Amino acid sequence: MSYDENNIFAKILRGEIPNDTVYEDDAVLAFNDIAPQAPVHVLVIPKGPYVSLDDFTRDAPAEEVGRFFKTVGEIARSLGLDGGGFRTIANTGADGGQEVPHFHVHICGGRRLGRMIAKA
C-alpha cells in the first residue's frame, strides 16, 4: 500500500488540521486521540511517510525505529503511566482494524483496560 499524502495524520503533520499535542521533536509527534477509549489515550506518530508498523519496520533505518520506540516509552513515563501500567497498540491493515493509514502507536492507560481483544 502506498502512502496517502491526504490521510488525516499527514494533514495534522502539515498543520492543516489542529491537534492536541503532548510531545513533539524533529522525528515524532504525539497528540491526544480525538475519541479517547481510556482516561489517557495518546497517539504517537513518526513524521516520516509510513503507512503502518509493517513498512515502518521494513523501510525505516534501524536507528529511526529504535528511537521511535524509545520515545513511545518516554512519553508513557511522562504521562505518569509507568506505575499503574498501560497498553500500546499498533493496528496494522484491514485485519488489524487500522483506520488511519499513517503509522501510529496508541498509548492507553489510566484505568484497568481488561482483556486485550474483545470478542467480535
Minimum CB–partner distance for residue 55 and ligand AMP (Å): 15
CA dihedral 44, 92, 12, 50 (to 10 degrees): 90
Nearer to ligand AMP by Cβ, of 35 and 62: the residue is 35
Nearer to ligand AMP by Cβ, of 71 and 102: the residue is 102
Q: Is 104 a catalytic residue?
A: yes
CA separation for the pair 4, 1 (Å, rounded):
9
Nearer to ligand AMP by Cβ, of 73 and 96: the residue is 96
CA separation for the pair 8, 78 (Å, rounded):
26
Catalytic residue among 41, 102, 104, 106: 104
Contact residues: ligand AMP, CB under 6 A = 8, 17, 19, 31, 33-35, 43, 91, 97-100
Minimum CB–partner distance for residue 109 and ligand AMP (Å): 15
Residue with cell string 509507568: 82
CA torsion through residues 116, 96, 82, 58, sign: positive
Q: Which active-site residues does the annotation give?
A: 104
